[in-house]
Structure 1
Amino acid sequence: MQMRKETKLAISTAKKAGLMLKKHFGRYYVVKHKNKHDILLDVDVQADRLIRKELSKSGLPMITEESQHKSKAGSFWVVDPLDGSINFGNRIKDFAVSIALVEEGLITTGVIFIPEADELYHAEQERGAFMNNLKMHVSKKTRLSEAILSMTLSSVKHRREKELEIMRCIGERVINIRSNGSSAVSCSMLARGAFDCYLTVEPHFWDYAAGSLLIREAGGLVTDFEGREYCEDSRSLVIGNSSLHKQLRGMIKGLQVF
C-alpha cells in the first residue's frame, strides 16, 4: 500500500531532527527552567526550528510544545520536537521526536522516532502501525494483575499529585509500574506490547497525538476516563487492549482526581 506523502514527510523530518539530537546528546545547555520539574534545552529550540522548516514544505500550520498555539480548523501538524528533555539533559536515552497530522479533527498520521534505539514508529489511519516497517500489535494480556502499567509523571504540580494518587490506588493491582520520562517512548512501547496499559490526567496534545494513533492502529483503545475517544480536549487518558482498558476504567471510577 502506497504511503501518503504527508507520512513520508513526517518520517524524513523526524529522522533529521532525531539524528541532530543524537549528535548533540551529552552536549547541550539549559535555556530556561519551565518549572522545578521541567527544562527547556538549546536542542529543544534547534529541533523545533528544523522541524518547522521541513514541515513548512507541506503548507500546513503547526502546533508544538514550544509554540503551544492551537489550530482547531482544517489540517495541521502537532509536534513535540524533543519529548523527554529531562532524560536528554541527564544523559538518559529515552527521548523521542513526535509528529502527528490532524485533518478535520482526526489524527491521520503519527510518527515517533527514538534516535538512540534507532526505532522508527509510524501509523496511518486504518492502515496499521509499524516499527521499522514491521507490523505491531498491543499486548494481549487480559489480567490486570499480570500487566505493566506505564505512567509518565507530569512536570506540573497539581497534575503530578493526581497521578501519584492514581499510582497509590492502582499500584497493588498491577505487576509493576513504569515511568520512563517520555510520553512518546511510552506510547511506542504500548503499541508494540512491551507495556500493557497506561493512565494519565490532563494530557498535552503534542505529547500523545502521534502515539495515540500508533496504539489505535495496533489494536488498542485510547480514551478518556469516561470512555470518550481521545482528542485534543481530553482531560484524562486510559490506554490498553479491550480487556485491560475495561478493567482500568472500572477501577478509576471511584477515584477523585478531578
Structure 2
Amino acid sequence: MNTRELIEKAEALVRNTGLFIKEELGKVTASDIEAKALNSLVSYVDKEAEKMLVSGLLELTPDCGFITEEDTPDDDSKEMVWIIDPLDGTTNFLRQIPHFSVSVAFRVNDIIQLGFVYNIMLDEMFSAGNGHGAFLNGRKISVSTIELFNETIIATGFPYENRDTLPFVEILQSIMIQGRGIRRFGSAALDLAFVAAGRIDAYYECCINRWDVAAGIIIVKEAGGKISDFSGGDNYDDGKEIVATNALIHDQLLAIIQKHNV
C-alpha cells in the first residue's frame, strides 16, 4: 500500500469512528460510565471506538504495534506503531458539551509520520504528513502571526491528579494579566489542532499522556509552529510537559511558565 492510499484509508477510518461517537451522544447512562482514576472517566463508547480503530488499522498495516488509552495492550517495539486516543474529551462527551475528538498518529522507526485529529461535532479533519504540511479538510493551514503577547489567546488544561502541587493559579494569573485571553476547552488534541490552524496562539499543559498529543504534535510542526517542554527542550512527546505555539511567542510563554514552575 502506498502512502497516499494509507492516508486516505486511515482518514476515512478516523472519520467513521467519529461518526459512531457522534451517534452515541446522549445515549450513555450513569451505569455505563467507569472511573479509571481520579477525574478520569470512560464508557463503552471510548472502548468500542478504540476497537474500531485498532481493527481497521491492523488491516492497513498488519505488522504494527499500538499505544492506546483504553484496553488494547501497548506494544511500541514494532517498526510501525499507531498511537490512539479514541475519544479525547470524554468528560465533554458525557456531559454533551460539543467539543471532543478522535486522535490518531502513525509512527515509523520512532518518528511520527502522520497525524489525524477529527473534530467530531464540526466535521473538521486536521491532518499532517511529515514534511508535507498540515491541512484542515484538505486545505493547507498555518499557525497565527501574532507577535505581541498582549494579543494572544492561549489554551491550557488541568491534570487529573496532583492539582494542588503545581503552580496553576500563578501561571494562569500571569497569562491572564499579560495576554488577551485564556481558554480551557477539554481536548488536548483539539487544542493542538487549533494552534496549527491559527485559532489560538499557544497551548501548554502537563501530566497528560502521549496519545493525547502525538497526532497534534506533527500537525503543529507542519503548520509552522514550535513545540518544547517547559524547559525549552525536546522532552515533550511523552505528554508530561508540552508547550506548543506559533513560534513567535514561544520564548515569552516559556518565561512565564518557568518563572513559576520551580
With structure 1 as the length reference, what TM-score do the two structures score? 0.92
Which among 235, 251, 257 is matched to residue 246 of structure 1? Answer: 251
When structure 1 is superposed on structure 2, of 2-11 and 79-88 the one drifting more is 2-11
Specify the alignment match of 2:33 in structure 1: 31
Which deviations, in whole Å up to 9, do the C-alpha atoms of 1:73-131 show, x marking residues without a partner? 52200000000000000111100000001111211100011121010111000100000
Which among 100, 105, 121 is matched to residue 126 of structure 2? Answer: 121
When structure 1 is superposed on structure 2, of 112-121 and 153-162 the one drifting more is 153-162
Specify the alignment match of 1:56 in structure 2: 58
Specify the alignment match of 1:144 in structure 2: 149
Give yes or no for contact 2:65–2:81 (8 Å, CA) kept in 1.
yes
| 1:110 corresponds to 2:112 | no
Distance 1:98 1:233, change over 3 A: closer
Distance 1:140 1:109, change over 3 A: same
Which deviations, in whole Å up to 9, do the C-alpha atoms of 1:177-197 show, x marking residues without a partner? 100111111111111101111
Specify the alignment match of 1:89 in structure 2: 94
Q: Which runs of 5 or more residues in structure 2 are unaligned?
A: none
1:164 deviates by: 4.1
SS of 2:41 mapped into structure 1: strand
Which deviations, in whole Å up to 9, do the C-alpha atoms of 1:28-50 show, x marking residues without a partner? 13331123422111101110111
Give yes or no for contact 2:101–2:119 (8 Å, CA) kept in 1.
yes
With structure 2 as the length reference, what TM-score do the two structures score? 0.90
Distance 1:188 1:205, change over 3 A: same
Give % identity. 29
Distance between the aligned counterparts of 2:115 and 2:82, measured in 1?
Answer: 10
SS of 1:52 mapped into structure 2: helix
**2:178 alignment partner AA:** R
**1:210 alignment partner AA:** A
Q: Which runs of 5 or more residues in structure 1 are unaligned?
A: none
Report the aligned-residue RMSD: 2.0
Distance 1:79 1:164, change over 3 A: farther
Specify the alignment match of 2:76 in structure 1: 71
Distance between the aligned counterparts of 1:230 and 1:152, measured in 2?
Answer: 18
SS of 1:25 mapped into structure 2: coil
Distance 1:90 1:233, change over 3 A: closer
1:157 deviates by: 3.2
Specify the alignment match of 1:172 in structure 2: 177
**2:39 alignment partner AA:** H
Distance between the aligned counterparts of 1:230 and 1:3, measured in 2?
Answer: 28
Which deviations, in whole Å up to 9, do the C-alpha atoms of 1:184-219 show, x marking residues without a partner? 111111111011111111331000000111110000
1:72 deviates by: 4.9
1:252 deviates by: 2.1
Which among 46, 49, 69 is matched to residue 48 of structure 2? Answer: 46
When structure 1 is superposed on structure 2, of 62-71 and 188-197 the one drifting more is 62-71
Specify the alignment match of 2:8 in structure 1: 8
